[in-house]
Structures are given as C-alpha cells and as structure tokens.
C-alpha cells in the first residue's frame, strides 16, 4: 500500500524517533553510504521506516527533499550494495516531497553487515553491534540453554531431594500440595521438569531457580552467585569469599540478608544529629542483585554474578553486555531471559516492569548517595554504588551523572527537572543555585541533558529533559 501524506503526518506526530522510525532533513541530498548504513542498522533492529525531507528535531515538520530523484534506480542500487531489497517511494506532501524507505527486518538468526560491519543505532549514532548482541541473534532458533536438561533419569524422590519445592510454593504464595505426584505435576506444568516414561529430568531453568545446592548440577555449578568481601577499598586483602549455593529464587532473600550483614556502617550527620547507617540501603542491594541475576548471559561459561563489598562501595556484576544501552537503564526495559524473568516476578523477586533501576536511583537520592555508575566492560556489566557522600566531596563526573539520572527519573515520573529539583536532590540551600546551574550547564555540554525548548529562553522557568527525549 502506497504511503499517503496523512500517514506521514501521523508519523511526524510521534513523540520521538524509535525503533521503527527515523527522520532526516536532507533538503538537497543525502549521502549514499550513510543511507546504506541506516538500512542495515534498521533491518538489524527489526525493520523500520526512514523518511527524508522531515526535520528530526521537535517540533517535527516536512521541509521537502530533493535527494534521490530516481527512486527506482536508488532501490536497485541499495539492493546491489547491501544484498536485500528496500522499497523506496516518493510522496508529494503539501509541504514538500518526502522520500520514504521501507526497510524489512533481518531474517531470524541472521544479522546484516556492510563491508563487514554489523550495524545498529545508538542514539544519534550508528555503531557496530556488540559481540553479545550478535551472539543472541545467531542463536535464534537454537534450543534455549535454560530449557535443556541439567539432570536426567531421576526418580520422583530424587527430584524432591534436589529442588527446594517447599520454598518454591511459599514464594508463589500457594499451599504446598498434599501428595508428591501433585508437586511433580505442578513443576511439570511450569516446564521446570519433564517426565519421560517412568523417570524425570530437571531443566536448567528449574535447577537454577530451585536447587538446594548448585553443586548437585555439574553444568550450572559455575552459575552460583559469588560474594567477596574485602578489608579495604581495593582487592589486596580478602576478608571473605563465599559461593552462594542455593538456587536464585529459593536463596534470594537469604542472599540479600547475608550481603547486608557484610556491609560496613557509615556515620552521617543530618540536622546536627549523628547516626550510623549501612553503607548502601537494602532496597538498592535487592534490586541490583535481582537485576544482575535476571539479565546475565547464561550461555557464557565460567562466569557468574559477583557481589563485591569494599569499605566504601559495593560492585555488582553479571556476565554479558546489556541489550539496553546503559543510558536507558532507568526508562527502558527488555529482558534477556523473558520466561526466567516472568518466573522471578511471580515469586515476588522482581517486578518485570522497568522499575528496579528507578528504585535504585530514588534510594541514592533519598540517602544522599553518589549516583550509581553503570559500566559495560568486556563481556560483563557492572554497577558501582558508593556509600553516603556529602555534595562537596563528589567530583565533577559524579555530579554530572547524578544530574542526568535525576533528569531521567523526573522524566519517567512525568515531572520536570529544574534547578530547584536538582538542589533538593543534592540537599543544597537556595543560596547554592549558582553552583547547581554550573552542574546543569556541564551536563548540557556533555550532551547528557537538554533544555526543554517548549519553555522558551526564560532561565527562571527553565526545565530540562534527557538528551534523547
């Protein structure tokens, strides 16, 4: 079906560019190589629409484009260069000519590349796809690692002995069945175990969630959470190194309690009252540990979730690079392991609605902690959260990071970030508004936030949005 001017008007009204839409002004021309790259990137992300002749900044409008006068010839050139067909059409809109590229999705289990570069979008940029993302694409259609058996040839009693079924039903807030067969039937219905003739097998999903001891399952034993406590602020002296042997679900609450028991206490002064608090609040530990467990890459061998406790900070890391960009952790959500996340949600360990990181940021603001630092390393994702620190002890980078996270948090709450709200986040008096203005300016210059153009140029009324909003 041909695109109509009315359809273009609907696309223009979209609040922002997203996975399916990309706008480019291109009044006179558009670079061929850049076009080929966008076609590859959009196809790798599931397909989409690229429009030339429309401004990409709000308020968006049609300005017309003179690029690619012969759309049939351009479609043939695209096919020759990138190896798949893109439909190209020109639409005569009342405000000017718009060139529309209909880019199909890549086939399942395949990623497209241009001159060896597997491309994807990241904000305004086109970047190579991460190794983790490529592995996930190439694994499409293959058996899910979590759904394969961890132990086979088991008797009913062996299944009960290996899995903590009592805690499982308690977490689901369901009464424990009165017969062994009823327990096994429920586990089978949940696809945590399978029955073959007269014996049972336990899926890796069931073992990882419910194992009494990870060591009873050789192929998942390295997935047990590891807790390391250091004596200072470096790895030089280790106080404790413990592997948590219980399954993620049945052992989650005891794990969080154990980590909290290992945290040092900080002494803080508020309104002339001196009091002692744990280095990091429990809500932050709980949400970050759950996040690391759920979003890890289970196919990575020899790697596990790690919780490292130092005198001044906690570092929580998991195998695999994130499938959501770090800058979108607060407002975005996409689970690497959807059925696993759903089971964890039903057992009240996570909410599966993108609120976990919001709660961590909120806790950091409430307890006057430096903004958490999310770091993507080689095949690993980490978050570093430090204990209470007065504003004057935060460095420039920490202040900008706090500003950005505060801005995103306000944005997802449909509230505005202002100089006043940021002062409140840092617990600064009105007399420090100039210092807060400097932080805001630095965050704008670092392309972390931007002024809301809808407000105009008034400094007094100014409020701010994340740079991608």
The pLDDT, as a whole number, for residue 15 is 61
User: Which structural domains are found in the chain, ordered by start?
Assistant: 5-129 (3.30.950.30), 145-218 (no CATH), 222-386 (3.30.565.60), 395-466 (1.10.10)
- 205 falls in which pLDDT band (50, 70, 90)? very high
pTM above 0.75, yes or no: no
**In the predicted model, what is the mean pLDDT of residues 184-192?**
96
Residue range 74-85: average pLDDT?
94
User: pLDDT exceeding 90 applies to what percent of the chain?
Assistant: 68
pLDDT in tens, 222-231: 999 999 999 9
- pLDDT band at residue 131 under the 50/70/90 scheme: confident
Residue 237: count other Cβ atoms within 10 Å of its Cβ.
8
319 and 128 in contact (C-beta within 8 Å)? no
- What is the Cβ-side half-sphere exposure of residue 222, based on CA atoms within 13 angstroms? 9
Q: Looking at residue 452, what is its pLDDT?
A: 86
- What is the mean pLDDT of the segment spanning 84-110? 94
CA 279 to chain centre: 25
**The pLDDT of residue 271 is above 80:** no
Q: What is the mean pLDDT of the chain?
A: 89
* Low-confidence winner among 91-100, 346-355, 371-380, 399-408 (lowest mean pLDDT): 346-355
Q: Residue 57: which pLDDT band, with cuts at 50, 70 and 90?
A: confident
Beta strand 48-52 with 21-24: parallel, antiparallel or unpaired? Answer: parallel
Give the pLDDT confidence score for residue 432 in this predicted structure. Answer: 92
When pLDDT is cut at 50, 70 and 90, the band that residue 240 belongs to is very high
Give me the mean pLDDT over the 224-243 stretch.
95
Q: Which has the closest alpha carbon to 87: 95, 96, 78?
A: 78
1 or 434, which is more confident: 434
């Amino acid at each position: 079906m041909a695109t109509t001017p009315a359809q273009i008007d609907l696309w223009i009204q979209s609040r922002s560019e997203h996975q399916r839409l990309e706008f480019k002004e291109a009044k006179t021309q558009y670079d061929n190589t850049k076009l080929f790259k966008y076609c590859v990137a959009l196809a790798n992300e599931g397909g989409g629409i690229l429009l030339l002749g429309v401004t990409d900044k709000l308020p968006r409008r049609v300005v017309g484009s003179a690029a690619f006068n012969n759309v049939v010839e351009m479609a043939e050139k695209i096919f020759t260069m990138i190896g798949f067909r893109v439909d190209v059409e020109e639409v005569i809109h009342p405000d000017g000519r718009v060139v529309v590229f209909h880019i199909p999705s890549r086939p399942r289990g395949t990623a497209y590349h241009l001159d060896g570069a597997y491309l994807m979008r990241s904000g305004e940029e086109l970047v190579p796809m991460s190794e983790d993302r490529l592995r996930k694409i190439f694994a499409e259609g293959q058996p899910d690692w979590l759904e394969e058996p961890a132990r086979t040839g088991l008797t009913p009693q062996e299944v009960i002995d290996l899995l903590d079924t009592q805690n499982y039903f308690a977490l689901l807030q369901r009464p424990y069945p009165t017969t062994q067969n009823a327990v096994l039937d429920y586990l089978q219905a949940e696809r945590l175990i399978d029955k073959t003739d007269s014996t049972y097998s336990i899926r890796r999903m069931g073992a990882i969630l419910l194992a009494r001891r990870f060591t009873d399952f050789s192929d998942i034993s390295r997935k047990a959470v590891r807790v390391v406590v250091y004596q200072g602020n470096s790895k030089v002296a280790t106080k404790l190194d413990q592997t948590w042997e219980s399954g993620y679900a049945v052992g989650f609450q005891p794990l969080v309690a154990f980590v909290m028991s290992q945290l040092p206490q900080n002494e803080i002064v508020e309104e002339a009252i001196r009091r002692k608090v744990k280095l990091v609040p429990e809500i932050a530990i709980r949400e970050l540990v759950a996040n690391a467990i759920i979003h890890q890459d289970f196919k990575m061998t020899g790697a596990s979730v790690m919780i490292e406790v130092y005198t001044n900070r906690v570092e929580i890391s998991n195998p695999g690079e994130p499938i959501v960009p770090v800058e979108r952790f607060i407002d975005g959500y996409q689970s690497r392991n959807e059925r696993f996340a759903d089971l964890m949600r039903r057992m009240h360990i996570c909410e599966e609605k993108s609120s976990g990181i919001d709660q961590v940021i909120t806790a950091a603001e409430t307890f006057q902690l430096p903004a958490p630092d999310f770091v993507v390393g080689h095949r690993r994702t980490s978050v570093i959260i430090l204990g209470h620190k007065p504003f004057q002890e935060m460095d420039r980078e920490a202040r900008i990071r706090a500003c950005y996270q505060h801005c995103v948090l306000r944005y997802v709450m449909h509230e505005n970030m202002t100089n006043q709200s940021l002062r409140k986040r840092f617990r600064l008096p009105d007399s420090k508004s100039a210092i807060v203005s400097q932080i805001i300016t630095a965050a704008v210059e670092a392309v972390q936030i931007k002024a809301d153009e809808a407000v105009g140029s008034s400094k007094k009324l100014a409020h701010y949005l994340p740079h991608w909003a």
